[in-house]
Amino acid sequence: MTTSFDRARAYAAGTAPLPFPIPEQVTIQEVGPRDGFQLEPGVISTPDKIAIIDALSATGVPRVQVTSFVRPDAVPQLSDAAEVMAGYTPASGVEYSVLVPNLKGAERALETSADCWELMLSSTDAHSIANANRPTAEAFERLRPVIELGLAQGKHLVGGMATSLGCPFEGRTPFERVAWVVGLYAEAGVSHVTVADTAGLADPAHVYEISAKLRQEYPDLRFTLHLHNTRGLGIANALAGMAAGITDFDTSVGGLGGCPYAPGATGNIATEELVHLLDLLGVHTGVDLDALTTIARGPVATAVRHKLESSFEKADPSWVLHTPPQRQELAGA
């Protein structure tokens, strides 16, 4: 059976190699059902969310972020977290994660089948106060019992780090600050952290620098890049991360997403756009691009009831060719 990856490689045959290293394989976590949906103004029904999660699980994506156990009044769109967790059908080989902001959320998550708990922390004090009403160090102390509970329960813990690549209140986040937050997680026993460009402020040079230094300073940790495409640099930033050795990325179907505490922030990099690029470069993701675009244009677009931010809203993969026009004979020529 010919896959979209095969078609991409045939289309790109003979392309010169990039002047910087790229990995042979990349792991993508689909965060659309949580980050993508959380700020949608129209209510997305629980059955629609479940159907989309099940469809995404069948595309070959290895990780899906399903929902968040935040206060229902804080994020009304995700107030059905327990129902969604009880309703989806786990697919073999797919890890399902939930966002766990505090101990109460962790206790709710324990009642579900979630494989992974993603923790929520801001790298800058200003964003932490906007998001958690307390500076970063104090917010982390409130996460310690969550970490202890998760480790005791054998959960895969991922330490989220918002505004690690730029803060809408403080500007560019220096490496020393990012490394300090990573160190907090590492000392508490968390070996996987997510470096997030929450407001889409990053540029490729900064992404490369932060990623390369973090991998050098913490060689035993696993790093995920969580990039937003607010200023159109998301895919370029992903390439910069790969050049620095990052092989884990969060993406959102349709390019949906945003942060309620980051003014002007728009969606994540679109899953279908990153998969399309990686297919062309010969980087394996295991994700079926054809299935992904069908889901984005169909059930996702129907559920959100507005145009998607992804370029695949109006464009096909670059290897899809169209019938050329026929020459017209002009009368009297």
Q: What is the pLDDT of residue 331?
A: 75
Tokens 């004979």 locate to 329
Q: Which distant-in-sequence residues (6+ apart) come within 8 Å of 176 by Cβ?
A: none
Give yes or no for a contact between 72 and 320, defined as CB atoms under 8 angstroms apart: no
Our CA angle for 101, 120, 256, nearest 5°, is 100
d(CA 292, CA 300): 10
The whole-model pTM stands at 0.95
Question: Where are any strands of DSSP class E within 51-191?
Answer: 63-68, 95-100, 116-119, 156-161
Q: What is the pLDDT of residue 51?
A: 98
d(CA 226, CA 194): 7
d(CA 248, CA 211): 12
Is pLDDT above 80 for 1? no
Cα-to-chain-centroid distance, residue 258: 11
Active site residue 259: yes
Alpha helix (H) residue ranges in 193-311: 204-217, 234-243, 271-281, 289-295, 301-304
Read off the pLDDT of residues 161-213 as tens digits, 9 standing for 90 and up. 999 999 999 999 999 999 999 999 999 999 999 999 999 999 999 999 999 99
**pLDDT band at residue 251 using 50, 70 and 90 as cut-offs:** very high
SS3 for 237? helix
**Choice between 2 and 99, residue whose per-residue pLDDT is larger:** 99
Structure tokens at 174: 């220096």
Closest CA to 228 of 205, 204, 207, 258: 258
Phi, psi for 246 (deg, rounded to 5): -75, 135
Partners of residue 221 on adjacent β-strands: none
Structure tokens at 244: 């620095």
Residues in the chain: 333
Mean pLDDT, rounded, for 267-272: 96
Please pick, among 139, 259, 262, 281, the residue that the annotation labels catalytic.
Answer: 259
Q: What is the pLDDT of residue 261?
A: 67
Phi, psi for 64 (deg, rounded to 5): -130, 125
Structure tokens at 33: 């059902």
d(CA 247, CA 243): 9
Q: In the chain, what are the domain boundaries?
A: 22-313
SS3 for 309? coil
What is the CATH T-level fold of the domain 22-313, as seen in this structure? TIM Barrel (3.20.20)
